[in-house]
A and B are shown apart, each in its own frame.
Chain A
Amino acid sequence: DSGVTQTPKHLITATGQRVTLRCSPRSGDLSVYWYQQSLDQGLQFLIQYYNGEERAKGNILERFSAQQFPDLHSELNLSSLELGDSALYFCASSVEVGTEAFFGQGTRLTVV
């Protein structure tokens, strides 16, 4: 157990809908990262937060947004969902930026 908690574990939703994925980082970790992993693909970096502030942005679609709250948990919002958004979404956290990141078990999103 990495100490990073993601909910829900599985999510099935229809095209055009909006979902929110939640991540609780390890205790004491200030940095949160979000990644998308499609079938048999690597992890695509989406966005990173540090202590509530956006720190780095990757290939995140405009339909997606995220934030990190004062209690350091983070949410990833996916809207106007398309079939191609079906993937595993991972959250990771680290104590500081650039130290080793620990991953949650992921949320498997299926868009039908």
Chain B
Amino acid sequence: GESVGLHLPTLSVQEGDNSIINCAYSNSASDYFIWYKQESGKGPQFIIDIRSNMDKRQGQRVTVLLNKTVKHLSLQIAATQPGDSAVYFCAERGRDDKIIFGKGTRLHILP
């Protein structure tokens, strides 16, 4: 079936450290993955995406890693800042073009 889940519901990270948010997916036919950030009271904001023919993609302070063998996705945020506090969702697109979201990980930044 289709499911995208996150290993940890809450992640606390010291300001300035790197954050790693993990995600497992179950649909081996998924060919496109997206990370979103949702701040309180706002809609999800696109962070970075990756297609299944890649295993790594870098953006500004963010890196997404895709391991198709174990169906695992991760988002790395470098030098975490207070403004990174949010809920992070991974999402996958299956062959039927539905984009399915996981439950989210709340990232909490410690001063």
Contact = CB atoms under 8 A, between A and B. Distances in A.
Interface of A: 2, 4, 33, 35, 41-45, 48, 55-56, 58, 90, 92, 97-98, 100-106
Interface string B85-105: 000010101001111111110
Nearest to B102: A42
Size band of the B side of the interface? 20 to 34
Given A42-B89, A45-B98, A90 B103 contact: no
Interface of B: 31-32, 34, 36, 42-46, 49, 89, 91, 93, 96-104
Contact of B98 (A4, A56, A100, A104): A56
B78 to A, nearest CB: 21
B99 A90 contact: no
Contacts of A58: 98, 100
9 contacts: A41-B103, A42-B89, A44-B101, A45-B98, A90-B43, A98-B31, A98-B32, A103-B36, A105-B43
